[in-house]
Structure 1
């Protein structure tokens, strides 16, 4: 897959993930927020919970199983740490979530995946 096609697929996946989270009662606070430590795909809020969300789209469920690992989650956690002062309120519960998307499947929302 070309870089352009991968970028397009990523943006589409992020849009679908954002709609799914809205359906679950979240408000999307920001999309594609870059830091020197990495990028956060979505920042979402529901009540007193602020979630930094990594979105992964793959062609199959099998490929999704390999899409997230500790190395990637460490980068997301570092970026979330850098961004928390910008988005978090004093009493927020802050967590890292992952959205997994594959064609023909409902999105999977994994909550609070980082315990570093």
Structure 2
């Protein structure tokens, strides 16, 4: 791998971590408690896991120009994998077992406030 490609990869990882930190802060301001960042499960990685009330939010974080672009970048297969990963995490933790697992999106765009879309892909 050449140096330019390594530098682009490092910059993308840093941008992703920053986006996740902003998303977590935004969710906390909305009353969510963050349970984890970049949780690796056998079913996939969860960007953010958060809880508020009786909802366990499996949060996908995307930095794009628009909310529509962010929604479109997550395929049906990815959504199903994220949903199953969230359900698996909840099943292994007694305090989370009775919560409703929901797939949320936090979209970020340069120079704009984050957009939190609860249940972003309703049924899809």
Structure 2 unaligned segments of length 5 or more: list them.
none
More helix by share: 2
Task: Spell out the pairing of 1:73-112 with structure 2 (5 A cutoff).
Answer: 73-87=79-93, 89-112=96-119
Does 1:44 pair with 2:50?
yes
Question: Does the aligned pair in 2 maintain the 1:64–1:102 contact within 8 Å?
Answer: no
Pick the structure with greater CA Rg: 2
Q: TM-score, normalised by structure 2?
A: 0.81
Cα distance, 1:106 vs. partner?
1.4
Inter-partner Cα distance in structure 2 for 1:50 and 1:107: 20
For the residues of structure 1 that align with 2:85 and 2:51, how far apart are their CA atoms? 17
Q: CA shift at 1:107, angstroms?
A: 0.8
> What TM-score do the two structures reach when normalised by structure 1?
0.86
Which structure 1 residue ranges, 5 or more long, are not aligned? none
Give SS of 2:12's match: helix
Q: Using the alignment, how far apart are the partners of 2:19 and 2:44 within structure 1?
A: 18
Q: What root-mean-square deviation, in Å, do the aligned CA atoms of Structure 1 and Structure 2 show?
A: 2.0
Deviation of the 1:65 alpha carbon: 5.1
**Displacement over 4 Å in runs of 4+:** none
